Amino acid sequence: MEDNQDRQLKQELQFLLRPPGWPQTPFKKTHEQRVILMLIGILQTGEVPPELRAQHGNNDQMIAGLLGAHNPGFDFRIFRVLDNHFPESAGECEGWLISGSKHSCYEELAWIERLKRFITEIADSDRPLIGICFGHQVIADALGGRVARSEKGWGVGLDTYTMSPDSPIAPKEKLTFNIFHQDQVLEPPPGARRIASSPFCPNAGFLIGSRILTIQAHPEFKRRYNHQLLKERKGVLVPDDIADHALAQLEDKNLKVDSSHLGEVMSDFLTAHSK
């Protein structure tokens, strides 16, 4: 049964996931109120290619920049779980985020299996958790969903998601994000509420309970970084025709990318659970 705290959180999240341009509501916080001191653990599962790292930073830096722009009070602790560097417990940080990765969550790697166990520990705790791309997929897998290589092939460039109209926290609105993935969540975990979808990626985002938020897209990517990464991978990982179409998307200045809006949602999702 839903308690008053859960109802209040849903009301706040309904505002936070509003489309850009929607009217203000009583749940809007002032800038001063947004500066909330909070320790966030980034579970780093991948890296920016070395040839692009000097210009763009590593993916943990991208994530910290995205979230920190909306709450300067965040303090970030990085755990390179891809090197088997894990926190001692879910209580070590006040909130958690799992990054993107070149790996698939169904690969039989010791650190991935350990990460899945840690996800269940976080899910059983009172800490919020966010998953981006691989993070979205591995959370779904760990909590009983199914992830596999999509028959649709590579999703690169930009994708426009529809925020589910039947979700208690998201109005129906189309938002566009950077994407770079081949795997997809084919079956959501039990109890997951789908909050984002597209024709290419039907299961693009979930809210699981009130403390786990996942998204297939890469809100931490800058458009320029996605463009450079795709040029590096064209003809190597990504077929030429798919890459060319995506590069044209990224070069089209009329296509607006909503990364900052999603960064605000993620930041406020975490701070809504601050102690």
For the annotated catalytic residues, the residue numbers are 133, 218, 220
- CA pair distance 208, 243, nearest whole angstrom: 33
Distances from the Cα of 240 to the Cαs of 150, 235, 248, in angstroms? 18, 5, 12
- Candidates 79, 217, 203; CA nearest to 140 is 203
Query: b vs e for 67-85, b when ≥16 Cβ sit within 10 Å of the residue's Cβ?
Result: bbebbeebebebbbbbeee
- CA pair distance 128, 32, nearest whole angstrom: 22
DSSP string, 2-56: --HHHHHHHHHHHHHTPPTTPPP-TTPPPHHHH---EEEEEE------HHHHHHH
- CA pair distance 87, 78, nearest whole angstrom: 9
β-pairing, 212-215 vs 205-208, is antiparallel
Distances from the Cα of 73 to the Cαs of 36, 64, 77, 150, in angstroms? 5, 11, 13, 39
